[in-house]
Structure 1
Amino acid sequence: MVELVEVGPEDWRVWRELRLRALAEAPYAFKSALAEWQGDGDREQRWRDRLAIPGSYNVVALVDGQPVGMASGFPEDDPDVVWLHSMWVDPARRGKGVGDRLVAAVVAWAARSGARAMMLGVVEGNTSAEALYARHGFSYTGEVNGMMPDGVRRDLAMARPLGA
């Protein structure tokens, strides 16, 4: 059974564990690189600050008490739009509903926040992620959020409306 737990700055250790696992396992899927969060970047205050972004929602998925996934939502420039970020599920738990639960939780938070739309970026060719987001009402906008760190693939924008 999947349990979702909202986390904050005091939970920085579990967020750190998941984020480092995510960046190591799927470097192609994130604009941040593992090296940016290790070494001098691996400081407690940096992790706490990430979880204390004003207006953010950070959630961790647990299975049998073990952290297996993560996702975040937070506002950016437009007050009517919130973004889904840092979505990741352990490969051993993919295809078992963990990703669906995480996305649904962040979408529900976004709707409660009063935003009118939710955006995300998905790396070109990540068909599993594309299918997950499409199941939750996201579709491509035609916009490109930029290039991925490999300089080859693009980060494509997907969006879904919120509210009535």
Structure 2
Amino acid sequence: MIDVQAIGPDDWKAWRDLRLAALGEAPYAFGSQLADWVEAPEERWRQRLSEPGAYQVIATIDGTPAGMAGGFPDNDTAELVSMWVAPAGRGQGVGNALMTAVEDWARSTGATAMTLSVVPGNDPAHGLYLRHGYVDTDEPGDLMADGVRRELVMRKQL
């Protein structure tokens, strides 16, 4: 059974474990690098989970951590960030559960649209976002850590 829970600063250890696993398993998918976070002190983890208005969730399957995602408000648009599903959770509905939780949160804040960024070539994630109604935009995304590739920005009306 998939369970999705909103988390806060007191849940920093669980989020840290998932974030480090994500950065180690899929370094190509994130703007951050494992080296930027692996030695981070507790306060940095807590601060990341304390950003005003932000929403962070962790998904578990039968109690085992299986994924994470977050949302940040930006006027009438919310941004999906830090989405990752552990290899053991892929194909099990974890991505759908995380997307639904963040989209529901965004609607509850009054957001009328959501944006996200995905690395070109990350076809499983891109496919998940397309299935959830996101469309590619012509907006330039941020440069990736390699300084060469840009993220692909996607948008969805809520």
TM-score (norm 1): 0.93
Structure 1 counterpart of 2:124, from 113, 122, 128: 128
Structure 2 counterpart of 1:45, from 43, 49, 62: 43
1:69 aligns with 2:67: yes
Query: What is the Cα-based RMSD across aligned positions, in Å?
Result: 1.0
Q: Distance in 2 between matches of 1:152 and 1:26?
A: 17
* Paired AA for residue 33 in structure 2: A
- The list of structure 1 runs, each at least 4 consecutive aligned residues, that deviate by more than 6 angstroms after superposition, is none
Structure 2 counterpart of 1:102, from 95, 98, 107: 98
Q: Which moved more, 1:29-38 or 1:149-158?
A: 149-158
Is this contact kept in 2: 1:141–1:158, CA < 8 A? yes
Q: How many residues align?
A: 158
Q: Distance in 2 between matches of 1:49 and 1:82?
A: 20
Is this contact kept in 1: 2:141–2:150, CA < 8 A? yes
Please show how residues 1-164 of structure 1 align to structure 2 within 5 Å. Answer: 1-39=1-39, 42-76=40-74, 79-162=75-158
* Paired AA for residue 52 in structure 1: S
TM-score (norm 2): 0.96
Q: Distance in 1 between matches of 2:120 and 2:147?
A: 12
- Tell me the secondary structure at the aligned position of residue 109 of structure 1: helix
Q: Distance in 2 between matches of 1:119 and 1:22?
A: 21
Q: Distance in 2 between matches of 1:135 and 1:107?
A: 14
5+ residue gaps, structure 2: none
Q: Deviations over 1:133-155 (max 9, x none)?
A: 11111111111212211234320
